Amino acid sequence: MNDTLHSTPEVTAFVTQVRARLSDLSEDEREELVGGLEADLAERLADGEGDLGDPADYAAELRAAAGLTARRGPRARTLGPRESLVGLLDGSRRRWDALVTKNAAATQAWDFAVVLRPAWWVLRAWLAVELLDLMAGPREYLTALPSLGNQVMGALVLLAAVVVSVLVGTGRLWPGSEARTYLPARVVLCALNLFALFLFPVVFSHMPSAWTSHEIYYSPSYPVPDRTEGLELDGRTVRNVFTYDAQGNPLTGVQLFDQKGRPLSVSRDPYLGSYRQTGTQQMTYPWRNGDQRLYNVFPLPVRQQGDPSFRVRDPYTTGRPPVLPTPPLVVVPPVSLPSDAPQPTAEPSSKPSAQSSAAPSPATPQPSASADSGKSPGR
Amino acid sequence: MDTTQLLKGVLDLAVLAVVDDEDGYGYDVVRRLRAGGLDDVGDASVYGTLRRLYASGALTSYVVPSDEGPHRKYYGITPVGRAQLKQQRDDWDHFARTVSNLLATSSVTSTATQAIKTGGPR
């Protein structure tokens, strides 16, 4: 007998596989069975006695001889599918390894892929959170940073998921911790990984296309815009409205409603309107009524920003809060109803050039009662 | 004849006998069994048997560590094992004799049957 006995990787792998098939036994029983087995097998190989055979058969024989099958009567019946499943998994792995080791390039590629495993751990965590986002939120595009309610929440959940996934991957957390020794853990781990692979196309089909990706990326949880909403003029989107009183002076905070009392809101879609047409680096911000954002109160404040495709969450706390825009026309001609007495005009100096639209005769101011609001008969 | 089934019945006895001769580790026991003529014995069966006998108290075990390779687990016989060995040896002797007698008798019987069939005297 040799005194120096070297275990080979083959023997170690074989013993690991035998051990896996005895995973239903208690730790003590299993150690009782496989303790010293490595030395025995190494010596057997050194004796020139062929290959070790099938670990499943070997484990079954070991178990039967040790009288453990008989003692676990009910277990014995589940042994069949259990062992065949282990055999299937191990067999696939062996075939894969054989395939990979066949040529040098494949071996290198596989080694490289193995190094990249941590990246997969992160990726699968991300996929899981995206799935959560998909199921939880309203119908919307998924975002690169999952938005579970709000950005902070999404980031926290993602971080937690990555930590869990990496712990599982490094074998510090179930099922990763027992994947080598306990069949259910191994099956669960395989199933989860396969599920993550399956999630890939699902998640990506819910990601915005290149057309919208910019907007979506910067405005998480922003609903997919309805491109028919809002006001239009001659086929062009109206992005802001400037109101003037009868005297022709600009007004602020005017709320507009249609004949049925519905708010006359402009489109909230940041992409519509002047940005794409003229390249204006301006973004409109709504008026507020508590938490409600109103787009039918004019003029809408605007904010100069580098990227006009998103709205900052709390714009008024930034260094550059939105401001009321300068009206396109400083004043407009005063107007009146034919039956009504017009207001006294403002100083004539600021009167714009004769671009009068509706007013019959702005050039003839007449004194009147100062009751524009009191008597304004509907037409 | 397939000796595997027969072997199963007497493996305990054979293993006890081998270990009674001298302490041994798993593969060593296998080798001695084979050297003794039990060529078909599977090593996993022997290891399983060793563990079972150990669990029942018939064997004791100790680990001999190795600096360079995996450790070896040696088995030795206990008084319980020795008693079991004696008991089983007696049982086996009795059983083997009975079976041998039975076989001898049956060979006589079959001769007789043949004789009857051919109409000859007994």
With CB atoms and an 8 Å threshold, state whether B55 touches A62.
no
Contacts of A44 (CB under 8 A, 6+ apart): A52, B27, B30, B43
Number of residues that this document lists for chain B: 122
In a domain, A349, yes or no: no
Of A7, A32, A65, the CB nearest to B69: A7
| Domain end residue (candidates: A74, A102, A130) | A102
Of A35, A42, A62, the CB nearest to B73: A35
Q: What is the pLDDT of residues A103-118, one digit of tens each?
A: 888 888 888 998 999 9
What is the Rg, in whole angstroms, of the alpha carbon atoms belonging to chain B? 20
- The amino acid occupying position B34 is R
In a domain, A258, yes or no: yes
With CB atoms and an 8 Å threshold, state whether B48 touches A61.
yes
Of B31, B51, B63, the CB nearest to A32: B51
Are residues A158 and A237 located together in one domain of the fold?
Answer: no
Instruction: Check whether B9 has a pLDDT greater than 50.
Output: yes
- pLDDT grade for A163, boundaries at 50, 70 and 90: very high
pLDDT at A364: 45
CB of B24 closer than 8 Å to CB of B64:
no
Q: Which CATH architecture has domain B4-117?
A: Orthogonal Bundle (1.10)
Tell me the C-alpha distance between A258 and A265, whole Å.
10
Instruction: Check whether A367 has a pLDDT greater than 80.
Output: no
User: What average pLDDT is seen over chain A?
Assistant: 74
pLDDT at A211: 45
Tell me the C-alpha distance between A93 and A55, whole Å.
14
In a domain, A352, yes or no: no
Domain ranges of chain B: 4-117
Instruction: Check whether A51 has a pLDDT greater than 90.
Output: no
Instruction: Check whether A243 has a pLDDT greater than 60.
Output: yes
Q: When comparing pLDDT for B5 and A115, which is higher?
A: A115
CA distances (Å), B4 to each of A5, A153, A206, B38, B40, in order? 31, 66, 62, 10, 7
Query: Which of A:53-72 have CB within 8 Å of B?
Result: 58-59, 61-67
Mean pLDDT, residues A137-160 taken together: 74
Q: When comparing pLDDT for A232 and A119, which is higher?
A: A119
Please count the residue pairs, one from chain A and one from chain B, whose beta carbons lie less than 8 angstroms apart.
87
Mean pLDDT, residues B33-57 taken together: 85
Contacts of A114 (CB under 8 A, 6+ apart): none
User: Which residue does chain A place closest to B10, by CA atoms?
Assistant: A65
Q: What is the pLDDT of residues A80-138, one digit of tens each?
A: 677 778 778 888 888 888 888 888 888 888 889 989 999 999 999 998 888 888 777 65
Are residues A98 and A120 located together in one domain of the fold?
Answer: no
With CB atoms and an 8 Å threshold, state whether A43 touches B27.
yes
pLDDT at A274: 44
CB of A57 closer than 8 Å to CB of A86:
no
Tell me the C-alpha distance between A50 and A182, whole Å.
29
Q: What is the pLDDT of residues A282-319, one digit of tens each?
A: 778 889 888 788 889 999 888 877 665 667 777 787 77
Cβ neighbours of B54 in A, within 8 Å: 32
The token pair that represents A81 in the structure block: 């599918």
Q: When comparing pLDDT for B19 and A278, which is higher?
A: B19
Residue A185's closest CA among A176, A197, A173, A195? A176
Give the total number of structural domains in chain A.
3
Instruction: Check whether B109 has a pLDDT greater than 80.
Output: no
Tell me the C-alpha distance between A354 and A372, whole Å.
23
CB of A293 closer than 8 Å to CB of A265:
no
- The amino acid occupying position B57 is G
User: Which residue does chain A place closest to B54, by CA atoms?
Assistant: A32
Of A6, A7, A66, the CB nearest to B52: A66
With CB atoms and an 8 Å threshold, state whether B70 touches A4.
no
User: Which residue does chain B place closest to A7, by CA atoms?
Assistant: B69
ipTM score for this prediction: 0.72
Residue A286's closest CA among A296, A278, A276? A296
With CB atoms and an 8 Å threshold, state whether B68 touches A4.
yes
Q: Which of B28, B32, B47 to mutate to test the interface with A (most CBs of A within 10 A)?
A: B47
Tell me how close the Cα of B103 comes to any Cα of chain A, in angstroms. 29
DSSP single-letter state for residue A122: H
In a domain, A2, yes or no: no
- Could you give the percent of chain A with pLDDT greater than 70? 71
Contacts of B120 (CB under 8 A, 6+ apart): none
CB of A230 closer than 8 Å to CB of A267:
yes
Instruction: Check whether A71 has a pLDDT greater than 50.
Output: no
With CB atoms and an 8 Å threshold, state whether B48 touches A66.
yes
pLDDT at A308: 59
* DSSP conformation letters of A269-285: -TTSTHHHHH---EEE-
**Other CB atoms within 10 A of residue A144 CB:** 13
pLDDT at A120: 92
- pLDDT grade for A217, boundaries at 50, 70 and 90: very low
Instruction: Check whether B104 has a pLDDT greater than 50.
Output: yes
Lowest mean pLDDT among A32-46, A61-75, A164-178: A61-75
Are residues A208 and A131 located together in one domain of the fold?
Answer: yes
Q: When comparing pLDDT for A9 and B106, which is higher?
A: A9
Owning domain of residue A27: 9-102
With CB atoms and an 8 Å threshold, state whether A5 touches B69.
yes
Query: Which of A:267-296 have CB within 8 Å of B?
Result: none
Of A1, A44, A64, the CB nearest to B43: A44
Are residues A331 and A233 located together in one domain of the fold?
Answer: yes
Are residues A253 and A315 located together in one domain of the fold?
Answer: yes
Cβ neighbours of A64 in B, within 8 Å: 45, 48
Lowest mean pLDDT among B43-47, B66-70, B74-78, B113-117: B113-117
Tell me how close the Cα of A36 comes to any Cα of chain B, in angstroms. 5
Tell me how close the Cα of B96 comes to any Cα of chain A, in angstroms. 23
Residue A155's closest CA among A144, A166, A164? A144
With CB atoms and an 8 Å threshold, state whether B27 touches A40.
yes
The region that residue A232 occupies, defined by phi over 0 for left and psi between -120 and 50 for alpha, beta otherwise, is beta
Whole-prediction pTM value? 0.37
Tell me the C-alpha distance between A269 and A143, whole Å.
17
